[in-house]
A and B are shown apart, each in its own frame.
Chain A
Amino acid sequence: DIQMTQSPSSVSASVGDRVTITCRASQGISSWLAWYQQKPGKAPKLLIYAASSLQSGVPSRFSGSGSGTDFTLTISSLQPEDFATYYCQQANSYPITFGQGTRLEIK
């Protein structure tokens, strides 16, 4: 199985801050990576697919980059509604696997 490791596990930030979350795959996955946002009691929401493509309807302050084994999700200017848990997911090979999650908290 491909292991997905996110860092940090949690981060505190303020509205307006720029935040970067990292996801590392245990082996190369090309650009087969997605990012999701999950709020308490809700299903995950797709933000980014194919490592850097913005899902329709997602604000442009979210961006993704990377290929191979190292990927990043950047939120350029945090808004109050962005405080949530973020997961990466690889779709390169089965079984599909997710990172352990990064909790973004208000400072």
Chain B
Amino acid sequence: QVQLQESGPGLVKPSETLSLTCTVSGGSVSSGSYYWSWIRQPPGKGLEWIGYIYYSGSTNYNPSLKSRVTISVDTSKNQFSLKLSSVTAADTAVYYCARAYGTFDYWGQGTLVTVSS
């Protein structure tokens, strides 16, 4: 059974960089069959895809966030990470990591990140 777990600070100051890590168990980020994604959901709102990374390191980002997003992978630790720079209150959301093959079949439980001074 694949499991994903997000970790990182729950509070980030405006203009700083949000950093989260997703640890995968029961599966490998080196699997060539899947893409490893980040998705977010502002409180009370819908879902927004942030981007994905393939085990090779190739990435694809949502154009709406592309200038501020970096997703990386560490195959030795079976983890992938998200960095979102220059955050504002609008980036306050629950951040999910997920396994994807176009469709997201396994999700982490989500972690709330609040942007506030």
Contact check, B108 vs A95: say whether CB atoms are below 8 A apart: no
Q: How many chain-B residues does the 8 Å CB contact rule pick out?
A: 18
Residues of chain A from 43 to 63 with CB closer than 8 A to chain B in the complex: 43-46, 49-50, 55
For the complex, give the distance between the alpha carbons of A45 and B47 in Å.
13
Contact check, A94 vs B60: say whether CB atoms are below 8 A apart: yes
By secondary structure, the B interface counts as: loop
Kindly identify which residue among B46, B60, B62, B109 contacts A43, using a CB–CB cutoff of 8 Å: B109
The answer to whether A25 has its CB under 8 Å from any CB of chain B is no
- Nearest to A95 among chain B residues (CB) is B62
The minimal Cβ–Cβ distance linking A5 to chain B, given in whole angstroms, is 12
Most buried by A among B47, B96, B103, B110: B103
For the complex, give the distance between the alpha carbons of A79 and B22 in Å.
33
By secondary structure, the A interface counts as: loop
The answer to whether A75 has its CB under 8 Å from any CB of chain B is no
For the complex, give the distance between the alpha carbons of A101 and B103 in Å.
17
Q: Pick 21 A–B contacts, CB within 8 A, sort by A.
A: A1-B63, A32-B102, A34-B102, A36-B104, A43-B98, A43-B110, A44-B107, A46-B105, A49-B103, A49-B105, A55-B105, A87-B46, A89-B47, A91-B102, A91-B103, A94-B60, A96-B62, A98-B46, A98-B47, A99-B46, A101-B46
Q: How many chain-A residues does the 8 Å CB contact rule pick out?
A: 23
The minimal Cβ–Cβ distance linking A15 to chain B, given in whole angstroms, is 26
Residues of chain A from 21 to 80 with CB closer than 8 A to chain B in the complex: 32, 34, 36, 42-46, 49-50, 55
